[in-house]
Amino acid sequence: MNRKIKIGLLGAGVVGSGVIKTLAHNPSIEIKKIGVKDLNKKRDLNGYVDKSAFTTNINDIITDPEIEIIVEVLGGLTPTKDIVMQAIQNKKHIVTANKDLIATYGAELFDLAKKMGVQIQFEASVCGGIPIINTLKQTLIANKFKKIIGILNGTTNYILSEMLNKKMNFEMCLKEAQREGYAEPDPINDISGKDVAYKIAILASIAFGERIKIEDVFYEGIEKISLADVFLAEDLGYRLKLIGMVEQEESGLLDIRVHPSFIKKNSTLASVFGANNGVLIKGDLVGELTFIGPGAGSMPTASSILGDINMLRAQLASSKNPNPLFVCQHSDYAKIKPISETENGYFLRIQTEDKSGVVGQVGTIFGNADVSIDTLTQRGINPDGSASITILTHVVKEKKLQKAISEVKKLNTIKQVENVIRVLE
306 binds its own copies (CB under 8 A): yes
Which helix (H) or strand (E) covers residue 157, if one does?
helix 154-166
Contacting residue, 45, 62, 103, 130, with its own copies by CB under 8 A: 130
Rounded alpha-carbon distances, angstroms, from residue 18 to 56, 61, 98, 290: 20, 20, 15, 27
Contacting residue, 27, 52, 141, 250, with its own copies by CB under 8 A: 141
159 binds its own copies (CB under 8 A): no
Distance CA 12, CA 165 (A): 35
234 binds its own copies (CB under 8 A): no
* SS3 category, 45: coil
- The one-letter amino acid code at 244 reads G
Distance CA 385, CA 355 (A): 10
| Least separation in angstroms between CB 284 and its own copies | 8
CB 304 within 8 A of CB 15: no
How many residues of this chain bind its own copies (CB under 8 A)? 52
296 binds its own copies (CB under 8 A): no
Nearer to its own copies, 171 or 288 (CB): 288
| Least separation in angstroms between CB 74 and its own copies | 21
178 binds its own copies (CB under 8 A): no
| Least separation in angstroms between CB 304 and its own copies | 7
Q: Which of 37, 26, 119 is nearest to 71 (CA)?
A: 119
Contacting residue, 75, 150, 307, 345, with its own copies by CB under 8 A: 307
Rounded alpha-carbon distances, angstroms, from residue 44 to 17, 21, 48: 8, 10, 9
Distance CA 178, CA 186 (A): 9
Catalytic positions, please? 199
161 binds its own copies (CB under 8 A): no
Q: Helices 194-208 and 99-116: crossing angle, nearest 10°?
A: 40
| Least separation in angstroms between CB 288 and its own copies | 6
| Least separation in angstroms between CB 145 and its own copies | 11
Binding site residues, its own copies, CB under 8 A: 1, 18, 22, 123, 129-131, 134-135, 138-143, 268, 271, 283-294, 297, 299-300, 302-304, 306-311, 314-315, 317-319, 321-326
